[in-house]
């Protein structure tokens, strides 16, 4: 969700829908805010169990427009120098869609892609079997948060998430063992 408001509205229909999604094991990502240190996280990123995403440059250094850290998880992904891709013929601002942008909204999209990549990797290379069952389902909201915590690297006091950083110079067996251990995979032997 790449939008936000400083307050939740009454009646809180968005909060109701978010609760329904989470109950159905649908993970939700939201941009933290672009209001710098003067502002705080915005809704829907402020809702409990919604993954709030901050922005960083390609080295993982926090973006100057991030809000202050809040709570335990302050995940960041690349959100600077992102070139949006959409059909310029469908907009009156055809040149603006070709410019590079910096926003937590773009970082949120990158975070969703990282989660999808990790889920696909796990499903393809580490399928459940009778001998191996997941304690925490990797594709559940809890599983995605757990995977991001495993991948996180503290840079500028934010939790930088980068598949390259997580896998760089690591063997496939090391990566899989870390995922199994972190997701508390159980064996029925």
Domain annotation covers residue 2: no
Confidence at residue 189, expressed as pLDDT on a 0 to 100 scale: 40
Domain annotation covers residue 65: yes
- Structural tokens at position 28: 């939700």
Domain annotation covers residue 3: no
Domain annotation covers residue 5: no
Q: What is the Rg, in whole angstroms, of the alpha carbon atoms belonging to the chain?
A: 18
Domain annotation covers residue 150: yes
Q: Domain count of the chain?
A: 1
**What is the block-wise mean pLDDT of the chain (189 residues), using blocks of 10 residues?**
79 88 92 77 85 94 87 92 70 62 89 96 89 88 94 94 91 93 66
Separation CA 47–CA 89 (nearest Å): 36
Confidence at residue 187, expressed as pLDDT on a 0 to 100 scale: 47
Domain annotation covers residue 8: no
Domain annotation covers residue 108: yes
Residue 146 belongs to what domain range?
13-187
Residues near 76 by beta carbon (within 8 Å), at least 6 away in sequence: 53, 54, 55, 56, 60, 62, 63, 66, 107, 155, 158, 159, 160, 161
Confidence at residue 97, expressed as pLDDT on a 0 to 100 scale: 60
- CATH for 105: 3.40.50.200
Domain annotation covers residue 21: yes
């Amino acid at each position: 969700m790449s939008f936000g408001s400083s307050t939740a509205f009454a009646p809180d229909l968005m909060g109701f829908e978010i609760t329904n999604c989470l109950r159905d094991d649908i993970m939700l990502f939201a941009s933290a805010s672009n209001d710098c240190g003067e502002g705080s996280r915005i809704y829907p990123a402020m809702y409990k169990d919604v993954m709030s995403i901050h922005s960083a440059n390609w080295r993982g250094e926090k973006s100057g427009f991030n809000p202050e850290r809040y709570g335990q998880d302050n995940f960041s992904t690349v959100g600077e120098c992102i070139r949006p891709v959409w059909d310029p013929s469908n907009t009156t601002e055809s040149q603006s869609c070709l410019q590079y942008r910096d926003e937590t909204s773009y970082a949120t999209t990158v975070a969703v892609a990282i989660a999808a990549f990790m889920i696909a990797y796990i499903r393809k290379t580490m399928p459940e079997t009778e001998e191996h069952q997941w304690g925490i389902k990797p594709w559940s909201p809890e599983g995605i948060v757990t995977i991001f915590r495993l991948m996180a690297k503290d840079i500028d006091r934010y939790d930088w998430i980068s598949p390259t950083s997580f896998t760089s110079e690591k063997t496939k067996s090391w990566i899989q063992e870390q995922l199994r251990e972190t997701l508390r995979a159980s064996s029925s032997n």
